[in-house]
Homo-oligomer: A and B are copies of this chain.
Amino acid sequence: MDKLFFMNDYGEGAHPRVMQRLMDTNMEHSCGYGMDDYSLCAQALIREKCGQPQAAVHFLAGGTSANMIALAAFMRPYEAAVAAEGGHINVHETGAVEGSGHKVLVAQSREGKVTSEGVRAVCAHHTDEHMVRPRVLYISQSTEIGTVYTLSELRALRAACDDCGLVLFVDGARLGSALTSRGCDVMLPDLAALADAFTIGGTKNGLLYGEAMVIVNPALQGDFRYMIKNRGGMMAKGRICGLMFLTAMEDDSYFEWARHANRMADLVREGLARGGVPLVQQTQTNQIFPIVTREQLAQLEERVAFERWGELPDGRWAIRFVTSWATSEADARALAAMLEAL
């Protein structure tokens, strides 16, 4: 029997609706580099969904590429990004931001979320030309550990950014799961109104690949296509990504798929609760971080594919389950039952 798959949210191809759309249009001709009609439509639709008719929208192949291109576009060489210690750009992008010449400064965070006081403290500390100048606040919605910024938290960060002269950039690799999570009071137009720029992640929510970069602030929009090409991010068959995002955003499929992932995660969370399994961190999104004993770890690894997150000082293990649009209810219930019986 195959293992249950809770390893990640990019383990399958694309949502069947996306695949069908690619099949249906496969032999149509179009011009390249994202200037085709599908891409233009998808951009218009995203602007509309965001309530930002003047926003610039670009489709990029992956998250690291999107982050590094945006941060390089938004900063001068001596300017720095501010992020949580565990922020993706700070830890898991192999120095791509530094590779573009920019320092990543660490601000205090709680539950994976940068605090506005943390942002202010970093800016207060960087006072003259012997130090980098903080310029972009980078946050992820949801965060690396599955938590979600509330509307009031985002507003506080926005205020800090305004006071300190920072651009607010939101990495939305898992934006769908965040915005559709239980208790999240942030809607897409809220995010678009508060952020200077953000991404809508496709790779982890039903597309073959792709992140939509939404640049709301007009001052940051100029020459972005030059920047994309300069950093190797421009795809010749741009229409593929445009078409996939069009499919995802029509009828709000994007959010439906994310909601499904969250529901499957809820089933798993219920199993954990019933089994009394402790968690590293409470989450409502599609990532769950239980703590298990060595014996439980071995037992689970026989039947479930998941990731070891890290060993704790007491010998137990933090592990990670991830659900997605592709997780079946049967699998989620099977895992829940297994966890209940641990």
Interface residues of A (CB under 8 A from B): 2, 5, 7-8, 10-14, 16, 19, 22-23, 25-33, 61-69, 72, 76-78, 80, 91-96, 98-104, 129-133, 203-204, 208-209, 223, 225-237, 239-240, 305, 326
Contacts and interface: CB of A to CB of B under 8 A. Distances in A.
Contact of A229 (B98, B130, B225): B130
- Nearest 4 pairs of A and B residues by beta carbon: A65-B232, A13-B26, A94-B229, A78-B226
7 contacts: A5-B29, A22-B208, A61-B61, A62-B236, A77-B231, A93-B230, A208-B208
Nearest to A92: B130
A132 B230 CA distance: 8
A62 B238 CA distance: 11
Given A101-B95, A101-B99, A68 B232 contact: yes
B132 A95 contact: yes
Contacts of A239: 13
A233 B230 contact: no
Given A7-B31, A95-B230, 15 more contacts: A5-B29, A13-B25, A61-B209, A62-B232, A62-B235, A76-B227, A77-B230, A92-B130, A92-B131, A99-B101, A129-B223, A129-B226, A133-B226, A204-B236, A209-B236
Contacts of A7: 29, 31
Query: Which of A10, A29, A99, A129 has the most B CB atoms < 10 Å from its CB?
Result: A99
Contact of A203 (B69, B94, B209, B236): B236
Report copies per complex: 4
A94 B132 contact: yes
Contacts of A99: 77-78, 101, 230-231
A208 B208 CA distance: 10
A229 B93 contact: yes
A19 to B, nearest CB: 6
A13 B5 contact: no
Contacts of A234: 62, 64, 129
A32 B11 contact: yes
Nearest to A225: B129
Contacts of A326: 27
A3 to B, nearest CB: 8
Nearest to A104: B103
Given A11-B32, A94-B129, A131-B92, A61 B64 contact: no
Nearest to A66: B232
Contacts of A203: 235-237
Contacts of A230: 77-78, 93-96, 99, 132
